[in-house]
Structure formats: C-alpha cells, structure tokens
Amino acid sequence: MTATATLAKYQALADQATSGPWSFLPLVNGMPARTISARPGFGTPTVASVQAEPDGAFITASRSLGPAMAAALQEILELHKKDPGSHPYEDLCTVCGDYYPCPTVSTITKHLEGK
C-alpha cells in the first residue's frame, strides 16, 4: 500500500470514529473509572475503558494527534512531487531539487510503506 493510500485509509478510520477531542477520566466522582470520553461531563458517552492510565492517555492523545500528523504527512507528500523532465537523466523533486524520491519522501515512505 502506498504512503498516500495508507494515510487516506487512516483518515477514513478517524473520520468514522467518534469525533474528538476525547478526554481520559481516571476518576469519576472520586471513583476509579479509567474511561475515555468523547464529551466530558454528566452522562458522558464513553468511548472506551482501559486498564492502565498510560494507555488511556495515549489513546486520548492519539484521537487528535493521529489525524493531525496524517494530514501533515499528506501535505508534505503533495508538496514533494516528481518534476518530470526536470533533469536530463532523472526526475527531481519540485521542492528539494534532489533526485526523486527525495530524502523527505523516502523518509515518509520508509515508515509507511516499509521501504
């Protein structure tokens, strides 16, 4: 799967999930709860319950950070495009001027495509 397809798939999953921001509630009314809530307050819809507080904090942060990071990576990939015919022997990146794929694109694809 290409990096762009992976990012689109991730964004689709995020779009279908309960909207954020989420909050981690280690306690509710002074009692251990360890729940992740979509809207803190009375009668809050619980998204998930976790056993460990670090897991709750991580999942909660991921709801906002994941889509933001995916969007940033997608925008970077859209900027660093191949510029056909920019060099007599190989295409260059439109931003870096390095041979395509440039180090920026290679770094992203290495992590998202396993290349």
Residue ranges binding Zn ion (CB under 5 A)? 80, 93, 95-96, 102, 104
Cis peptide before 103 (omega within 30 of 0): no
* Residue facing Zn ion at closest CB distance: 102
**How are the residues of the chain apportioned to helix, strand and coil, as percentages rounded to the nearest 5?**
45, 20, 35
Q: From the CB of 75, what's the least distance to Zn ion, in Å?
A: 13
Residue placing its CB nearer to Zn ion in the complex, 57 or 96: 96
Residue placing its CB nearer to Zn ion in the complex, 63 or 80: 80
Residue placing its CB nearer to Zn ion in the complex, 48 or 96: 96
Task: Answer whether 18's CB lies under 8 Å from 46's CB.
Answer: no
